[in-house]
Amino acid sequence: MQAKHPKESRTTLTDLVLPSETNPLNNLFGGELLARMDRAASIAARRHSRRIVVTASVNHVAFNKAIPLGSVVTVEAAVSRAFKSSMEIFIDVWVEDRESGNRSKANEAIYTFVAVDETGAPVGVPPLEPETELEKQRYDAALRRKQLSLVLAGKMKPNEATELKALFKD
């Protein structure tokens, strides 16, 4: 399979925060944001693999900043690393200031998707070639996250997690 670049999977969803999507403090429900991130990540994974994709895990979510009612929210997702049949998707969430129009980062997340065939069996995905410095950083970090996940699940021995071990060497 021919390698692809993160920009080929980049997905941007922009929407308004409506009253029915807010909590008693008039901020966007966390679950609503999770659903928006899942949709954007799903599209990014599908663009990369050109296959049916399913959410395998939500590896990290940081709710760093409340998103108030009436805000314009932009969710940006792109594949940060492709493995055999799985893809890590890095998601940035931006909120636009209503008066100035300036964007600030509100949240981020990392999801994992698996490409499957019509029967639900995993299928291979193209490799990923990062281009920018940020894409390269996210690409490298994805392997460490995968190794940590495998070690914690008992599917990899700690001494086999070479990328993790490298973090602790002088």
The overall average pLDDT reported for the chain is 95
| Superfamily for domain range 6-129 | Hotdog Thioesterase (3.10.129.10)
Q: Do residues 163 and 147 touch, judged by C-beta distance below 8 A?
A: yes
pLDDT tens digits along 67-79: 999 999 999 999 9
SS3 at position 28: strand
What is the per-residue pLDDT for 99?
A: 84
Task: Provide the β-strand partners of residue 81.
Answer: 88
pLDDT-based confidence at residue 63 (cuts at 50, 70, 90)? very high
> Model pTM?
0.92
Q: 104-152: per-residue pLDDT in tens?
A: 999 999 999 999 999 999 999 999 999 999 999 999 999 999 999 999 9
Q: Give me the residue spans of the domains in the chain.
A: 6-129
Examine the pLDDT at 169 and tell me if it is beyond 80.
no
Starting at the edge strand found earlier in the chain, the sheet holding 86-96 runs 11-16, 72-82, 86-96, 103-116, 52-63
User: Which pLDDT score, from 0 to 100, does residue 117 have?
Assistant: 98
pLDDT band at 170 (very low <50, low <70, confident <90, very high): low
Rounded CA-CA distance 160/8 in Å is 32
Secondary element (H or E) of residue 147: helix 133-152
pLDDT: which is higher, 164 or 30: 30
Q: Which tokens hold the place of 122?
A: 């995993």
What's the rounded Cα separation, in Å, for the pair 161 and 164?
Answer: 5
